[in-house]
């Protein structure tokens, strides 16, 4: 029973007690040696703070301490006593050290110096042993917990929607096929197409791009549900905001119209941000400083106008601005940025899909606030969104965030069978394949709504990290599936 006697560093840091005998286990961050004494900084992942272990040379031999190098895993038994130095209140005076696992400092990739984020992506199996990544992982945990507690408090039921699916909810066709067919010898039908009837599921299957369709089935009966699972998109976009595997929070609610939907999304985001400030204080302060240092390396005009903590406070304290697609389109079309041809994709005709440069112009330059854009043109949105009377727009909503662009996508759903069928026909979708989805409109249909929050994009906002690869422990992106 090794762990029974272990005290976590977090507990030591939080209490003000002197203690005669404490056992701490963790990984060595650095070691500093002077004539009579060595200092080992130890971290166990429980908090951002390290503990400073003091070893006197009359109690530990030089040869032994040599083996306690950066990266090693050790157990220290010792006493917590008031520090003689000025850096921290308490020292941890070692009486006995057991080395669990040595680490050859000559080859250990994490040297006691600042490493670039790019380098740390090459050693993803170790990067959570740095301050930055351990802080991100702890904040991520707190936010996951927050998602569940938010919905639980409101009586939502959590659903595990399937990861393997035969449908493409978003219709964007960015699917990873799931198959057990022999790639060396793929069966074909008379038309020369792959014969999926011989495959495991007897039809073409893929990794799910969204749990929404099953979420809708469950909402029509359970009332308010949410799913929070991994989703997969094979879009070949190597950007700082796209992953091939990402986590999405998707609530789906019967009896909610578009406005109820927006209100829920705004409450969720604010609830999570409030939790982050309350429960991740030390980690956020560290990430705030890291963000500030990073901004200093940028050109003046590219620097963020607010620090991480100010930005979070700002979003918490101000209502999100709500605007329609048409209003946003007018703003973009008439702004001097567009007139001076500074957008890569100029805004000309009504109906164009906004690119991330447009979304960021709206939130960062024009409104300087998170913005909820509603009533998008129907031809740029998915088939399930509720059609408005103008016959041109749908009851969609996207939430755009500074520095990120689109963070949430959702809508009121088309609950009218005829309208839904007509839209599917226009899009040449196979009605038969979605018979079960259409049944909800046949049996007890009603107004309902939902949205999807891209969890990693949200994590980028809370942690101030510029690249989405740095807010999930093991990112999957085009060409990269290691670890």
Applying CB under 6 A, which residues contact ligand 4AD? 169-170, 210, 212, 233, 235, 242-243, 246, 248, 250, 406-410, 450-452, 454, 456-457
Residue 248 touches which member of Mg ion, ligand 4AD, none, C-beta under 5-8 Å by kind: ligand 4AD
Cβ closest to ligand 4AD, residue 186 vs residue 380: 380
For residues 146 and 452, which CB has a smaller minimum distance to Mg ion in the complex?
452
Q: Report what 440 binds from ligand 4AD, Mg ion, none; CB cut-off 5-8 Å by kind.
A: none
What residues make contact with Mg ion under the rule CB under 5 A? 409
79 vs 166 by CB, closer to ligand 4AD: 166
Closest CA to 287 of 483, 134, 62: 134
Which of Mg ion, ligand 4AD, none does residue 210 bind to, with CB < 5 to 8 Å depending on kind?
A: ligand 4AD
DSSP, residue by residue, 320-356: PEEEEHHHHHHHHHHSHHHHTT-SSS---STTPPPPH
CB of 371 to ligand 4AD, least distance (A): 13
Q: What is the distance between the terminal CA atoms of the chain, rounded to a whole angstrom?
A: 30
Give me the least distance between CB of 409 and Mg ion, in Å please.
3
Neighbour-count burial of 417, counting CB atoms closer than 10 A to its CB (0-12 exposed, 13-18 middle, 19+ buried): middle
Q: Which residue is nearest to Mg ion (CB)?
A: 409
Between 39 and 176, CB nearer to ligand 4AD: 176
CB of 479 to ligand 4AD, least distance (A): 15
Give 129 or 386: the residue with its C-beta nearer to Mg ion: 386
Neighbour count for residue 82 (Cβ, 10 Å): 9
Tell the smallest beta-carbon distance from residue 204 to ligand 4AD (Å).
Answer: 20
Q: Which of ligand 4AD, Mg ion, none does residue 26 bind (CB under 5 to 8 Å by kind)?
A: none
Give the nearest distance from C-beta 428 to ligand 4AD in angstroms.
Answer: 20
**What is the β-pairing status of strands 371-377 and 321-324?**
parallel
Decide: 342 and 365 in contact? Cβ < 8 Å.
no
Of 211 and 409, which CB lies nearer to Mg ion in the complex structure? 409
- Which residues fall within 8 angstroms of residue 74, CB to CB, at 6 or more apart? 25, 26, 27, 28, 40, 42, 68, 97, 98, 99, 100
Q: How far is the CB of 410 from ligand 4AD (least distance, A)?
A: 4
Which of residues 124 and 126 has its CB atom nearest to ligand 4AD in the complex? 124
What does 451 interact with, of Mg ion, ligand 4AD, none (CB < 5 to 8 A by kind)? ligand 4AD
Run of H or E including 248: strand 245-254
Euclidean distance between CA atoms 254 and 258, whole angstroms: 11
CA distances from 115 to 7, 268, 314, 472 (A): 30, 35, 31, 18
- Reported as type and span, the H/E element at residue 285 is helix 281-296
Closest separation in Å from C-beta 452 to Mg ion:
8
Nearest-angstrom CA–CA distance, 428 and 432: 12
* Residue 456 contact partner, candidates Mg ion, ligand 4AD, none, CB within 5 to 8 A by sort of partner: ligand 4AD
The binder of 452, among Mg ion, ligand 4AD, none, by C-beta within 5 to 8 A per type, is ligand 4AD
Q: Which is nearer to Mg ion, 48 or 332 (CB)?
A: 332
CB of 434 to Mg ion, least distance (A): 20
Could you tell me the smallest distance in angstroms from the CB atom of residue 38 to Mg ion? Answer: 55
Closer by beta carbon to ligand 4AD, 94 or else 315: 315
CA distances from 167 to 37, 150, 435, 482 (A): 65, 29, 11, 28
CA 294 to chain centre: 20
Task: Give the sign of the dihedral formed by CA 34, CA 37, CA 38, CA 40.
Answer: negative
**CA atoms in the 13 A half-sphere facing the CB of 388:** 16
């Amino acid at each position: 029973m090794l762990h029974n006697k272990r005290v976590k560093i977090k507990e030591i840091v939080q209490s003000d007690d002197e203690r005669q005998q404490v056992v701490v286990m963790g990984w060595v961050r650095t070691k500093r040696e002077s004539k009579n004494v060595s200092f080992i900084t130890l971290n166990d992942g429980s908090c951002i703070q390290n503990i400073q272990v003091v070893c006197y040379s009359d109690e530990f031999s030089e040869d032994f301490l040599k083996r306690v190098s950066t990266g090693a895993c050790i157990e220290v038994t010792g006493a917590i006593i008031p520090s003689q130095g000025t850096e921290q209140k308490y020292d941890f005076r070692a009486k006995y050290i057991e080395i669990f696992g040595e680490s050859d400092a000559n080859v250990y990739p994490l040297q006691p110096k600042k490493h670039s984020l790019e380098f740390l992506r090459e050693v993803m199996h170790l990067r959570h042993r740095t301050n930055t990544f351990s802080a991100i992982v702890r904040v991520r945990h707190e936010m996951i917990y927050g998602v569940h507690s938010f919905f639980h408090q409101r009586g939502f039921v959590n659903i595990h929607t399937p990861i393997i699916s035969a449908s493409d909810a978003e219709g964007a066709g960015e699917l990873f096929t799931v198959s057990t067919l022999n790639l060396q010898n793929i069966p074909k039908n008379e038309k020369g197409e792959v014969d999926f009837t011989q495959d495991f599921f007897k039809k073409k299957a893929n990794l799910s791009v969204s749990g929404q369709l099953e979420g809708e089935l469950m909402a029509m009966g359970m009332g308010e549900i949410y799913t929070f699972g991994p989703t997969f998109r094979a879009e070949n976009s190597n950007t700082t905001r796209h992953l091939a595997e990402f986590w999405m929070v998707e609530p789906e609610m019967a009896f909610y119209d578009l406005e109820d939907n927006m209100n829920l999304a705004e409450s969720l985001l604010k609830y999570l941000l409030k939790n982050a400030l309350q429960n991740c204080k030390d980690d956020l302060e560290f990430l705030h400083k890291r963000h500030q240092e990073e901004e200093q390396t940028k050109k003046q005009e590219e620097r963020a106008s607010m620090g991480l903590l100010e930005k979070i406070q700002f979003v918490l304290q101000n209502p999100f601005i709500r605007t329609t697609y048409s209003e946003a389109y007018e703003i973009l079309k008439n702004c001097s940025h567009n007139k001076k041809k500074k957008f890569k994709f100029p805004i000309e005709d009504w109906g164009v899909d906004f690119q991330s440069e447009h979304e960021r112009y709206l939130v960062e330059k024009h409104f300087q606030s998170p913005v909820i854009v509603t009533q998008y043109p129907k031809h740029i949105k998915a088939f399930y969104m509720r059609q408005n009377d103008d016959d041109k727009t749908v009851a969609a909503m996207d939430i755009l965030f500074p520095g990120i662009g689109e963070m949430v996508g959702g809508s009121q759903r088309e609950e009218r069978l005829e309208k839904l069928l007509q839209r599917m026909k226009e899009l040449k979708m196979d009605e038969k394949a979605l018979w079960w989805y259409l049944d909800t409109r046949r049996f007890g249909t009603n107004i309902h709504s939902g949205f999807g929050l891209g969890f990693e994009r949200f994590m980028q906002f809370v942690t101030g990290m510029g690249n989405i690869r740095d807010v999930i422990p093991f990112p999957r992106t085009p060409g990269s599936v290691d670890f």
